[in-house]
Structure 1
Amino acid sequence: MILACFCFGIMGVFVKLGSKQFSISELVFYRCIAGLIGIFFAVLLQGKTLKVSFPVFKLHMTRCAAGFIALLLYFYAIVHLALPTAVTLSYTSPLFLTLISIFYLKNNPRPGQVAAILIGFVGVVILLKPTLESSQWLAGLMGLGSGLLSGVAYFNVNKLGQAGEPEWRTVFYFSLVSTLGAALLMALQDAPLTMLNFNNLWIVVGLGVSATIAQLGMTRAYSRGKTLAVASLAYLTVLFATLFAALLWDEQLSWPSYIAMSLIAACGILSSALKKSDYKNASG
C-alpha cells in the first residue's frame, strides 16, 4: 500500500505536468489504457473468462460509470488546484461511502458513524474556505464530486465482492469503460488531439506506468492485508502529494489546511473501521 500511495502521488505529478500539453480526456485515456492492456494480456495468458451474469454486469457498469466520471473530476481538480488539496478532496470518498451505506442499508447511524461524518464535514469546510480563491471554487467542487462518485464506485465494488467477483475482472471492466469513454471525449473535443513525440512521450509513459503499479499495489493490499491498516495507509498519498508539490512547484499550504487534511484522514480511518461491521450486520 505504501508503494501504491507513492505511485498515486507520482501519477498526480504527471497529470499536472501533462496538463500543459494534453486535455483531461487525453490524460484519462493514457492513464487507463496502460492498465487495460496489461490486464488483458494477463487474462489471455491465464485463460480467464470475462463472462458475467446480467445482474453482475449491471453492477460492473454502475461501478465503471461512477469511477470514470470520478476520475475525470479528479484530474480536473489536480490541474486547477494545489496537488495536496485535490488529492485530499478526492479522499473524502469514505465520508460519502458512509452516508451511502447508511441510506442503502436503511439503518440508523451509529454514534461512530455520526462522528466520522461530522469530522469529515468539518475538515472539508476548513479545507475549502481558507485554501481556495473565488476562481478555484469550481475545481474544489469538482474534487469533492470526485470523492462522492468514488464513494459510489467503492460501494459497488463492495457489492461485487459480495457477489463473488474477482478483483481483476472489476479492474478490467473499469479500465475498458474508462478507456472507451475517454476516447469518445477525445473524439468530441474541439481542440485537435495532441500528437505524441519525444518531448511528451515520457509524460504518457510515466502516467500509465505509475497508475498501473498503484492500482495493482492497492488491489493486492486490500486483498491480502487488514482492511483498517490498508485504509489508514492509503492517506500516505496525501503526504506524498504534499512533498512532491513542495519540491516541484513550491506549493505551500496554510496550517488550517493541514488540520483539515488530518480531519479528513481521521474521518476515512474511522469510516473504514466501522464499515466491515456494517456489512456483517447487513448480511446477518
Structure 2
Amino acid sequence: MTVIKRLGSGWMVIAALFFAIMGALVKIGAPYFSAMEMVFYRTILSVVVLGGVAVVTGKSLATPYIKAHLGRGVAGTMGIMLFFYALIHLPLATAVTLNYTSPIFLAILSFVILKERINRATAAVLLLGFMGVIILLRPSIGGEQFVAGLVGLSAGAFAGWAYLQVRELALLGEPEWRVVFYFSAVSAFIAGILAFVDGWHMPQNGQQVLILLGIGVTALIAQLSMTRAYKVGRKFVVASFSYLTVVFSTVLGVLWFAEVLHWQELVGIAIIIISGILGSVLPKKK
C-alpha cells in the first residue's frame, strides 16, 4: 500500500507502458479480427469490471448527465475506432504519435467551441505541433498509407473532442469511473453492432483468445492507472509522462515488428511530444 501511495505521477508510466502494449496487441490481432471487433473487446471488459465493482460497492450508475455521457461516448468511440484502423495500417510509433495530437486539437476546440482565448505562446505551440505532424507524415506515409495517415490524424481530433467533453463532465462533478464506464458501454455497443454487420470472427485457438483478452486487460489497467495518475500526481509531470507511450511504442515496434524509423520521423515525433507537453502547461487565455 505504501508503494502504491508513493507512485504518484509514476502511475502514468504504468499507463503509458500498458497503452503501448495494447497498441502492439492490436497490430498482432489484425490478421484475425477486424478493428471493430477489437474495439468491442477493448471496451466490454471495462464495462463488466467497472459495472461489477459499482454493484458490489454500492455505487450508483445513475446519472443526470446521460446526454453528455452519450456525446462523450460517441466522440471517444470514433476516436478509438480510427486509432485502431491506424494501428493496423501504420507503423506502431507513427499511429500512436498521431493519436497524441489530441492536445493540439483540444486547444483548438476549446477556442472554437468554448470561445476560450488563446495567447500567442499557445498559438506558437499549436503551429509547432502541426509542423511536427507534417515532418512525421511526409517521410513515413506512402501512397497506399496516405489514407491511414489521415485516419490517424482524425483519431487525434476525435480524441481531443472527447477530452473536451470529459473536462465538462468533470466540472459537472461526475466521478472518473462513471465517465469511463459510460464511454466503454457506448463504445462496446456501437462497435458490437458494426462488428455484427461486418461479420464476427470467433477465436480459433488459445493464442487468439489471449490476444483479445490482452487488449481488454491492458486497456483497463492503462485507463485506471492514468485516472489514478491525474488524481494523485502533479499535472505537468503526468502530462509529460503520458508521452512515454510513444517511446514504449517505438521500442515495441522495433522489437516486435522490426519497424524502422528514419531520422525525419524521429524529429517529427519529438516535436509533437514537445508541443503536447508545452500545450498542457501554457495558459490558454490572455
- Cα distance, 1:104 vs. partner? 2.5
Amino acid at match of 2:43: C
Instruction: Report runs of 4+ in structure 1 exceeding 6 Å deviation.
Output: none
Equivalent residue runs for 1:259-274 within 5 Å: 259-274=267-282
- Cα distance, 1:108 vs. partner? 3.5
- Structure 1 residues 115 and 103 mapped into 2: Cα distance closer, same or farther (>3 Å)? same
- 1: CA distance between counterparts of 2:17 and 2:200? 33
DSSP-derived class of the 2:206 partner:
coil
Task: Provide structure 1 residue ranges, at least 5 long, that are not aligned to the other structure.
Answer: none
Aligned partner of 1:151 among 145, 160, 165? 160
- 2: CA distance between counterparts of 1:184 and 1:196? 21
- Cα distance, 1:192 vs. partner? 4.6
Over the residues paired in the alignment, what is the CA RMSD in angstroms?
1.3
Structure 2 match to 1:45: 56
Aligned partner of 1:242 among 228, 247, 250? 250
Equivalent residue runs for 1:1-284 within 5 Å: 1-53=12-64, 56-189=65-198, 191-274=199-282, 278=285
Q: TM-score, normalising length from structure 2? A: 0.93
Task: Provide structure 2 residue ranges, at least 5 long, that are not aligned to the other structure.
Answer: 1-11
DSSP-derived class of the 2:264 partner:
helix
- 1: CA distance between counterparts of 2:152 and 2:185? 23
Instruction: Decide whether the 8 Å contact of 2:32 with 2:201 is kept in 1.
Output: no
- 1: CA distance between counterparts of 2:230 and 2:45? 21
Paired-residue identity, %: 43
Deviations 1:59-106 (A, max 9, x none): 111110000010000000000000000000000000000101112232
- Cα distance, 1:203 vs. partner? 0.6
Name the count of aligned residue pairs. Answer: 275
Amino acid at match of 2:231: S
Deviations 1:142-179 (A, max 9, x none): 10000000000000000001110100100000111111
Amino acid at match of 1:153: A
Instruction: Decide whether the 8 Å contact of 1:112 with 1:270 is kept in 2.
Output: no
- 2: CA distance between counterparts of 1:11 and 1:107? 34
- 1: CA distance between counterparts of 2:166 and 2:185? 16
- 1: CA distance between counterparts of 2:187 and 2:259? 30
- 2: CA distance between counterparts of 1:162 and 1:95? 21
DSSP-derived class of the 2:15 partner:
helix
DSSP-derived class of the 1:200 partner:
helix
- Cα distance, 1:17 vs. partner? 0.4
- 1: CA distance between counterparts of 2:200 and 2:101? 34
- 2: CA distance between counterparts of 1:80 and 1:38? 30
Amino acid at match of 2:68: L
- 2: CA distance between counterparts of 1:107 and 1:41? 39
Instruction: Decide whether the 8 Å contact of 2:203 with 2:209 is kept in 1.
Output: no
- 2: CA distance between counterparts of 1:59 and 1:17? 34
